[in-house]
């Protein structure tokens, strides 16, 4: 077990990459919790004084005042961590700020009974240490420094553990593939490259910036020796081991993505009802262009009059208004 390993194992017998909290981070979380407890004590003290002043004078005496202070002290020192760990997933305000969390020794969520046990032991022999304060403080620090997982007395009694909820460093992506190695990577036989070795290569490429020389170069060469033993053909030219490992890992991911795409295509063809519908991507908002102006109608032209249809019957004679001339008389003298 290493110093930064919490030693937690999942139900599938897989060791979890979780760091145990040590003395420095836990003291910082304790200081933040002390400030929060002090503010809670002041607020509850004001509420308590208002309640006591509102009671009749013959009821409030020294015994009631002392009992109220004891209850206030218990709420602040014991109730605060128990309630916070119950409703905040094993974290107090200080642990939330530092990135810590209380869990069971097997990695499960902490229970109310375990939180209460931790708080009672902490108040009695750790902080503020009602039983032999100075001696209990020295014993508590000694236990935390000597325990492989940095547990204090309350953790040992309650069967709990404080772990980090944030990673130790930034996970960086794998380095890009060198262009001259792209053609060679496409001809690799990756049949015997198993998932465990590929995961080890991925973790090395993601965390090699955290390793110091010469360990970084030595580990890269060892991984490349293992990878080259199960792949063929050999690389065409000499390059650093991280470049070879990145090319092999990228080609393995490309082939896996291709196989996954073909499998999904076959599944969508045979069982279309099992294939989720594609996500509807909303079309961008486009302001419609104004409609083109209608052309002006042509000017109206006079059509020629249609010829009159021929008459089917003869037209009736129109009566004349002129008087007919009188016939000439034979005996009228010539003029």
In the chain, % of residues over pLDDT 90: 22
Residue 270 has pLDDT above 70, yes or no: yes
**CB neighbour class for 72 (10 Å; exposed up to 12, middle 13-18, buried from 19):** middle
Start-to-end Cα distance in the chain: 169
Model pLDDT for residues 25-49, shown as the tens digit of each residue: 899 999 999 999 999 999 999 998 8
User: Cα separation of 250 and 259, whole Å?
Assistant: 14
**Highest mean pLDDT of the ranges 157-166, 265-274, 294-303:** 157-166
pLDDT band at 313 (very low <50, low <70, confident <90, very high): very low
Q: 246: buried, middle or exposed (CB in 10 Å: 19+, 13-18, 0-12)?
A: buried
Q: Could you tell me which residue, 318 or 45, shows the higher pLDDT?
A: 45
Q: What does the pLDDT look like over 130-149, one tens digit per residue?
A: 777 788 888 888 998 898 88
* pLDDT of res. 203: 84
Q: How do the domains of the chain map onto residue ranges?
A: 23-164, 179-272
DSSP 209: G
Q: How far is CA 144 from CA 165, 177, 188, in A?
A: 19, 46, 52
Name the residue with tokens 């294939």. Answer: 275
The rounded distance, in Å, linking the Cα atoms of 198 and 174 is 12
Q: What is the largest CA-CA distance in the chain?
A: 185
Q: How far apart are CA 168 and CA 163, in angstroms?
A: 12
Mapping DSSP to helix (H, G, I), strand (E, B) and coil, where does residue 277 land? Answer: coil
pLDDT greater than 90 at residue 268: no
């Amino acid at each position: 077990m290493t110093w930064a390993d919490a030693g937690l194992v999942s139900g599938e017998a897989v060791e979890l990459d979780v760091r145990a909290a040590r003395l420095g981070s836990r003291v910082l979380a304790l200081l933040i919790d002390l400030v929060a407890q002090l503010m809670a004590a002041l607020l509850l003290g004001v509420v308590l004084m208002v309640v006591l002043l509102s009671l009749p004078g013959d009821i409030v005496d020294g015994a009631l005042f002392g009992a109220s202070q004891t209850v206030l002290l218990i709420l602040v020192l014991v109730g605060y961590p128990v309630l916070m760990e119950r409703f905040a997933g094993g974290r107090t305000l200080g642990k939330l700020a530092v990135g810590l969390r209380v869990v069971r020794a097997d990695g499960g969520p902490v229970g109310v009974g375990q939180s209460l046990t931790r708080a009672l032991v902490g108040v009695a022999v750790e902080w503020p240490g009602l039983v032999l304060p100075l001696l209990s403080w020295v014993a508590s620090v000694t236990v935390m420094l000597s325990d492989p997982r940095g547990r204090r007395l309350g953790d040992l009694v309650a069967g709990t553990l404080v772990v980090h909820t944030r990673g130790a460093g930034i996970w960086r992506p794998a380095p890009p593939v060198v262009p001259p190695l792209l053609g060679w990577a496409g001809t690799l036989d990756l049949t015997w490259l198993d998932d465990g070795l590929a995961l080890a290569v991925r973790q090395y490429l993601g965390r090699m910036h955290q390793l110091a020389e010469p360990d970084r170069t030595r580990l890269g060469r060892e991984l490349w020796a293992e990878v080259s033993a199960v792949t063929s053909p050999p690389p065409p030219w000499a390059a650093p081991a991280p470049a070879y490992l990145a090319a092999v890992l990228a080609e393995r991911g490309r082939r896996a993505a291709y196989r996954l795409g073909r499998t999904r295509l076959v599944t969508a063809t045979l069982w279309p009802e099992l294939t989720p519908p594609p996500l509807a991507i909303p079309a961008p908002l486009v302001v419609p262009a104004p409609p083109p102006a209608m052309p002006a109608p042509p000017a109206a032209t006079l059509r020629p009059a249609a010829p009159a249809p021929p008459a089917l019957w003869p037209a009736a004679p129109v009566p004349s208004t002129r008087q007919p001339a009188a016939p000439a008389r034979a005996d009228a003298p010539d003029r």
